[in-house]
Amino acid sequence: MKKMIIFLSIIGILLINGCNFLNTAMNGTDTVEIEKGILILSIQDSVASRTISPVFDLNPVSFLVQGIGPNSESFQIDNLTTTSSETLHLTAGDWIISVDAYNADGTAIGKGEVVSTLVAGETKTINIDLTILEGTGILTLDADFTAMTLSNPILAGNLISSDLTNTSISFSIATDNMSGSYLSNSLSAGTYSLELQLFDGTILVAEAFDTIHIIQDQTTAGTLSFVYDPLLAEITVTITVNTLPITISFTGNQLTMPFGGSMTVTAQTSVLVDSYQWYMNGEILIGQGSQSLTISDALVVGFIPIGDHRIDVVVQKNDNLSSSSFTFTVQ
């Protein structure tokens, strides 16, 4: 199941006190004491600032929380919000706790589930990551070559899902060779890495990288603009509806770097991520998978040429992918 493009944590603090909360039940002639615990449910993190699409509201405003525990004991909390909390007296033991998230229109946008054991005398924190609803969405991409002179443009590449499933894609090219388009009407919901190569006939002109987010029954639309520099094939890619689920900023990056020089850049993320991968001018930098990247001639064969260059970083947390980039000029 794909992880949601936004991150939400639901914190349940389990305060178990077997001495204070006891229920009695009759079993034949014996009296059985059932240890009870306290479950305090609250929403600790709103994702209002990390939605991905302005055409569909992915901001959760209410939550349905349900639990099933020992001896089929259950509970249900409707309309839990980020500003409310509930305290429940529950039997100690194993509990399956599920969460459904809804936007302001009452539309379900995500779900999550966790199994936790309540133990007398123990305080526990439960983290539940919402998963994106399963299904398919639409991806439509337009490419613009008007700033380039191409006699036989070919634009193709791959969509790579978070589980590394690779889907080949190819753009339809307009008869004037000035633009292209791609459409998929049934792409599985989730996050994808987009890798593209632009050829003029058999000559590789430019490469691009970005991340794509697909939502169930929604359309993700993007525009790719290609700009050619005589010293370097430079590409600008804009996915028009995306706001990145993980905020990425850079430290150490400079607008200019002297020829033969170096600089070390660090990617700062809004949440702790599992992995990093760096790219330069659309090409993957093999072996560069740490939080920091030292940009120097050692990254390439020969030297980094004079001109403009683009650095991308892709971060992953669970099944979520996000990317960001910056440019610099070698002088």
Tens-place pLDDT, residues 56-84: 666 778 888 888 999 898 988 888 876 66
The total domain count for the chain is 3
Instruction: Determine the average pLDDT of the residues in 137-165.
Output: 87
Structure confidence at residue 55 as a pLDDT band (50, 70, 90):
low
User: Is 151 among the domain residues?
Assistant: yes
Q: Which of 132, 164, 182 is the last residue of a domain?
A: 132
Which range (118-127, 162-171, 212-221, 225-234) has the least confidence?
225-234
Decide: 118 and 132 in contact? Cβ < 8 Å: no
If one compares 279 and 317, the residue with the highest pLDDT of the two is: 279
* Residue 35 pLDDT > 60: no
Do 175 and 236 lie in one domain? The reply is: yes
Do 88 and 115 lie in one domain? The reply is: yes
Do 150 and 219 lie in one domain? The reply is: yes
Q: How far apart are CA 241 and CA 54, in angstroms?
A: 6
Domain CATH for 223? 2.60.40.10
Q: What per-residue confidence (pLDDT) applies to 241?
A: 36
Domain CATH for 115? 2.60.40
Range(s) of the domain holding residue 162: 135-242
Strand 256-257 relative to strand 283-284, pairing: unpaired
Q: What per-residue confidence (pLDDT) applies to 92?
A: 84
Do 23 and 116 lie in one domain? The reply is: yes
Q: Which two tokens stand for residue 176?
A: 């004037």
What residues contact residue 66 under an 8 Å CB cut-off, 6+ apart? 74, 75, 76, 77, 97, 98
What is this structure's pTM? 0.57
* Residue 52 pLDDT > 60: no
| Chain segment 155-212, per-residue pLDDT in tens | 999 998 878 889 999 999 999 999 999 999 889 888 888 888 889 999 888 877 778 8
Do 287 and 185 lie in one domain? The reply is: no
Q: How far apart are CA 32 and CA 30, in angstroms?
A: 6
SS3 state at 18 = coil
Instruction: Determine the average pLDDT of the residues in 126-136.
Output: 75
User: Is 310 among the domain residues?
Assistant: yes
SS3 state at 5 = coil
* Residue 43 pLDDT > 60: no
Q: Which of 132, 166, 184 is the last residue of a domain?
A: 132
C-alpha distances out from residue 280 to 3, 207, 257, Å: 27, 10, 15
Q: How far apart are CA 261 and CA 199, in angstroms?
A: 31
Residue 295 CB burial class (10 angstroms; 0-12, 13-18, ≥19): buried
* Residue 5 pLDDT > 50: no
User: Is 4 among the domain residues?
Assistant: no
Do 92 and 171 lie in one domain? The reply is: no
If one compares 120 and 20, the residue with the highest pLDDT of the two is: 120
Our measurement of the distance from residue 91's CA atom to the centroid of its chain's CA atoms, rounded to an integer in Å, reads 36
The β-bridge partners of 268 are 249
Structure confidence at residue 2 as a pLDDT band (50, 70, 90):
very low
Do 177 and 266 lie in one domain? The reply is: no
If one compares 17 and 157, the residue with the highest pLDDT of the two is: 157
Q: Which two tokens stand for residue 50?
A: 């990390």
C-alpha distances out from residue 71 to 95, 106, 200, 247, Å: 10, 32, 68, 44
In the 8-state DSSP scheme, what is residue 80? E
User: Is 2 among the domain residues?
Assistant: no
Do 165 and 89 lie in one domain? The reply is: no
SS3 state at 241 = coil
Instruction: Determine the average pLDDT of the residues in 247-257.
Output: 92
Cα–Cα nearest to 39, from 15, 69, 64: 15
What residues contact residue 255 under an 8 Å CB cut-off, 6+ apart? 328, 329
Question: For all residues of the chain together, what is the average pLDDT?
Answer: 75
SS3 state at 297 = helix
Do 34 and 52 lie in one domain? The reply is: yes
Q: How far apart are CA 320 and CA 2, in angstroms?
A: 8
C-alpha distances out from residue 305 to 152, 233, 239, 254, 278, Å: 27, 12, 28, 16, 19
Do 216 and 313 lie in one domain? The reply is: no
Q: Which of 100, 115, 132 is the last residue of a domain?
A: 132
User: Is 113 among the domain residues?
Assistant: yes
Do 128 and 80 lie in one domain? The reply is: yes
